[in-house]
Structure 1
């Protein structure tokens, strides 16, 4: 004897294992039940046009196993995290335009926290991540681009907000600029702002290097040229003091 694929009850359908005997042709009721199962899952906007039903393994070619469903859930959570990050970034931009810089900083930080969750799911950080999640929830190329561009925009916007503060945290400005440049080495604003940060931190050699890189990108930018001049003056004075102190000894 072998079991049927589906037992009917007045309230619900219960799936039964198919492995006790040869497969039987699906009855009309079976086909309707399977179609209902697929329609009950929302479409999942993923590269290549796959649906969440496909990720769950219940469409054509799927085995319908629990592992497939967990993979779909992980992908859906990851997509939701990326979208939340993009939404927080947009809110940050709105606050910045309204000159609500402190609120904007909070929004950008929340966006970056969402992206950290994405990186954990992707298995790029943390050994505590469940191995099944690592295998099931890999970022698509489109998602990777969205994550990277959102990170760049958030860190770049954070530096812009910080430079509007009465007491600027130049150490933090430097840190965020270097994060941007680690993704995009020719990012003009990050070069320029890194130069400003190093200048105010007293590291004139690094300041001059980043400012000259920025000048190579925008040779006529007056702000860059002004900071290069200021940095060279500081270095000249510093060198003069060192020479004078050397004579005294």
Structure 2
């Protein structure tokens, strides 16, 4: 696995293989069975990614997320009363679900960065989903910063990349794009200063020219 900031790096971690303790039932399949199925989809996605089959990799990650969605309390609580009651997850199951979600969101963002035409808005979207669950996740901070920079928002890019740099100060990719953001902000600042300088310096000239014009018309100085 490469640097945390690098586009090639995938998240493949997660909770250890679940045991039998704390086993609870969800409609249709046992909870652990669904969680393992989602983890298997993620593993297949990683394999496709290594083979440079980006489309299939993204498809597997999305399938994993759909499975997890059926167990996610943040989702099921909003539709409570409209379907079968979902048994609450144990803390271990909840941690497994969140870890797998974070990995899949991060990995989709990594896949999108490998496409010939990068949709930076989607990269940002998936990176922000990670940050909602893991605010200090370096990969998501890096990719959110890179996406913001490519979309023209250097200030937001600097904020994300600065935080990523604090977490991993030796990451070359993070430092490179943070420097790009700072240079862009500096150019914008210099351009803004020049604009105001021209604006204020042109004021007196216009007034003087107007006075000369009025003198010519009336024969009297203003």
Count of aligned residue pairs for this structure pair: 181
Q: Deviations 1:156-202 (Å, cap 9, x if unpaired)?
A: 11111111011111111111111111111221111111110110111
Q: Deviations 1:31-63 (Å, cap 9, x if unpaired)?
A: xxxxxxxxxxxxxx6424x6xxxx7xxxxxxxx
**Which residue number corresponds to residue 186 of structure 2?**
236
Q: Distance in 1 between matches of 2:172 and 2:154?
A: 19
Q: Distance in 2 between matches of 1:148 and 1:208?
A: 27
- Decide whether the 8 Å contact of 1:81 with 1:117 is kept in 2: no
Query: In terms of mean alpha carbon deviation, does 75-84 or 157-166 score higher?
Result: 75-84
- Decide whether the 8 Å contact of 1:159 with 1:176 is kept in 2: yes
Q: Which has the higher contact order (CA 8 A, sep 6+)?
A: 2
Distance 1:106 1:242, change over 3 A: same
2:51 to 98, 102, 126: 98
Structure 2 runs not aligned, ≥5 long = 1-18, 200-222
- Decide whether the 8 Å contact of 1:122 with 1:138 is kept in 2: no
Q: Distance in 1 between matches of 2:183 and 2:73?
A: 46
TM-score (structure 2 length as normaliser): 0.74
Matching of residue 187 in structure 1 with residue 187 in structure 2:
no
Q: CA deviation at 1:106?
A: 0.7
- Rg (Cα) greater in structure: 1
Q: Distance in 2 between matches of 1:180 and 1:73?
A: 25
Q: Distance in 2 between matches of 1:121 and 1:172?
A: 22
Structure 1 runs not aligned, ≥5 long = 1-44, 56-71
**Which residue number corresponds to residue 212 of structure 1?**
162
Q: Distance in 2 between matches of 1:202 and 1:122?
A: 33
Distance 1:121 1:230, change over 3 A: closer
2:153 to 189, 193, 203: 203
Query: In terms of mean alpha carbon deviation, does 219-228 or 116-125 score higher?
Result: 116-125
